[in-house]
Amino acid sequence: MGSAQALFEPPFVDAQQLEPVREGAMKRAQQAVASAVEILSKTFPKVSESISVLLNGPRNVIIEAADKWDADLIVLGSHGHRGIERFLLGSVSEGVALHAHCSVEVIR
C-alpha cells in the first residue's frame, strides 16, 4: 500500500462492530438473488445462483477472473473521477488496464 493511501485509511477497524453490517448486507444480497431467480426462472428454466464475498480488491478480483477464464478482452465502466476525487478513490479501471494480461476497454 502506498504511503499516501495509508494516510486516508482508518488505523483500526473492529471486526465485531462490522459484523452486524456484514450480516445485514448478506441478507439483502440473498433476498435480491432469490427475487431475481424467481423472476428469471419463469422464462429460463435452468437458472442457477451464487453469492460471492470478495476478500480482495475489485481490481485483483477482475484480473484473477480474467486470467482464470483466459479472457481476450475485459470491458469496464468508468465513473470519470478526476483530480483529488480520483486520488482518494483510486481507479479500478485504470488498475485493471495497467495489470491485465489481455486487452481492456474502458467505457464512460
**Range list of β-strands (E), 6-108:** 73-77, 103-107
Judged against a pLDDT cut of 50, whether residue 1 lies above it is answered with no
pLDDT at residue 88, as a whole number? 52
CA angle 86, 75, 2 (to 5 degrees): 35
Over its C-alpha atoms, the chain yields an Rg (Å, rounded) of 18
Q: Which residue type sits at 73? A: L
pLDDT tens per residue across span 43-102: 988 887 877 777 788 889 999 989 998 999 999 887 766 776 665 556 888 889 999 999
pLDDT at residue 79, as a whole number? 74
pLDDT tens per residue across span 11-30: 556 667 778 888 888 899 89
